[in-house]
Amino acid sequence: MAASTSELAPEGRIREASMNVTVSAAHSFQQVAQCDWLAVLDQTISSAEAAEMELSRQGENDPSEQRKASGSFYTPADVASHFWDLFFRHHRISDVRSLLAFTASHELVEPSAGSGMFVFSFLRKAALLGATPENLNSVRFHVVDINLAALRFFSERLRTVEHVTGARFDYIGPAQSDFLEWSRASAIPNAVFVGNPPFIANIRGARWRNLYADFVEAMLTYPTCKGVSLILPLSVCFSRDYADLRSAIRSAGMGISASSYDNIPDCLFKVGKPDSTNTNRANSQRCTILNIGGSDPAAREASALLSWPAGGRVELLSTVPKFRAFREDDPSGQIPRPASDVLANHMLEAGSARPLRTLLSKLGRPVFSVGGVARNYIGIRDYEAAGPGTIPIKVASEQDRGLVLQALSSELFFDYWRTYGDGFHVTVELIERFPLSESMVSRYRSTEAIARRVWDHRAAYAKEKLNSGRIVRSYDFRGAFR
């Protein structure tokens, strides 16, 4: 195990070994009034954000490789602030009293703290709630990272906050360690894990494709785990690679709240994906802020996949997103991103619904096909030939063609795709699983004549685009069957 720069002294105080600050003092503090500790925290957070490039290059690898190799992509201050808003909401911390009740009964752990953004923004959130530095002197926060330079930076900044404000954070202390080793070797009561773990591809054959999943698993299996709140790649919600991880999350006996964030037009992180040298924002990671724990173990709620223009960032990150309930036994096995109230309610009541699969046939010639990718609508196409990029639809009867056509062109199916899809692909599985209630079936049957007429006049709904030198025509039937 890597040497720890802190240890729990017999009386329970976290004591640090001496740390020499290696990071330049470029972001040194201006003099601030002793009492204005919010201003001190704001300055500390700015310096923690600004230190990213310098700190993330320090470690065992070539500096140019180190950032990617250690997954050192730090959390912007506005995202960390949003994270704590969601955390406090999930744990029903709404005033100093409930905050102190929480901190008295839990120990926070940052598994991969970097420059300490989550610690400082926690203190800021507490300060905004009205907590004084003295209120927080018994907060226990274990600040883990493998990067000694980052921990030194963090420690130095914490000492400065203490010095300027007169606070004593004796139980907030760094530990230089691989978090997976730390989680095996440490034994703390009522652990609540918070942060943004490294997103690093694991070697082939590893238990999980990405290290973040090892972190989540280590947290969920930590003997005293009382909560896990992390910023994770969106893949945690839907990827087959993490189906077992989602099962572990669901069976942890804790409440689940998830909000998800697109990467177009704006994105949470200001740089490109770790595996890309392209710093184009469109290449940045789509993320989910996952809160596991809280007072209601049965809670199951999630937001839509949120997207916002750069000009809407401040509002997005200062607002609690709209959460919608989802079922514990949601048949997709996903953490859905419910795109609308109508879809969320449909899925809550979908227990007895029949999947669209029951109207499809394996025999005969396809009656139409569905474009394999979507953006603003589900593209219906004339079936030409079997090939990649389209999903042929076969049905048992002419009547079923009208029904399936209406179902796949409906706003509800579009919302279903946005809720369970990866944001790009329309898959066979998605189509086959789409649940149809009895009332939908009878409504679609009653408008079958309209469906036939629309299909006969489909040219009026055609949209064409050039794809690899070939004109692709698809029909946008939104609103056509009303």
Q: Which stretch binds ligand SAM (CB under 6 A): 20-28, 69-77, 396-404, 468-476?
A: 69-77
- The torsion region of residue 226 among left (phi > 0), alpha (psi -120 to 50) and beta comes to alpha
- Please report, in angstroms and rounded to a whole number, the separation of the first and last CA atoms in the chain: 65
Say how far apart CA 263 and CA 270 lie, in whole Å: 10
Q: Which stretch binds ligand SAM (CB under 6 A): 73-81, 130-138, 391-399, 450-458?
A: 73-81
Residue 45 lies near ligand SAM (rule: CB under 6 A): no
The torsion angle over the Cα atoms of residues 82, 84, 88 and 93, rounded to 10 degrees, is: -120
Q: What is the three-class DSSP state of 321?
A: coil
Q: What is the three-class DSSP state of 53?
A: helix
Say how far apart CA 112 and CA 115 lie, in whole Å: 9
Do residues 112 and 72 make contact, with C-beta atoms less than 8 angstroms apart? no
Q: Which is nearer to ligand SAM, 145 or 330 (CB)?
A: 145
Residue 85 lies near ligand SAM (rule: CB under 6 A): no
Say how far apart CA 174 and CA 116 lie, in whole Å: 9
Residue 118 lies near ligand SAM (rule: CB under 6 A): yes
Q: Which stretch binds ligand SAM (CB under 6 A): 71-79, 90-98, 363-371, 372-380?
A: 71-79
Residue 400 lies near ligand SAM (rule: CB under 6 A): no
Q: What is the three-class DSSP state of 273?
A: coil
Residue 47 lies near ligand SAM (rule: CB under 6 A): no
Q: How far is the CB of 66 from ligand SAM (least distance, A)?
A: 9
Residue 150 lies near ligand SAM (rule: CB under 6 A): yes
Q: Which is nearer to ligand SAM, 113 or 237 (CB)?
A: 113
Residue 114 lies near ligand SAM (rule: CB under 6 A): yes
Q: Which is nearer to ligand SAM, 194 or 440 (CB)?
A: 194
Q: How many CB atoms lie within 10 A of CB 54?
A: 17
Q: Which residue has the tokens 């595996």?
A: 275
Q: How far is the CB of 198 from ligand SAM (least distance, A)?
A: 4
Say how far apart CA 137 and CA 132 lie, in whole Å: 9
Q: Which stretch binds ligand SAM (CB under 6 A): 90-98, 123-131, 177-185, 236-244?
A: 177-185
Q: Which stretch binds ligand SAM (CB under 6 A): 70-78, 330-338, 454-462, 472-480?
A: 70-78
Binding residues for ligand SAM (CB under 6 A):
70-75, 111-114, 117-118, 144-147, 150, 178-180, 195-196, 198
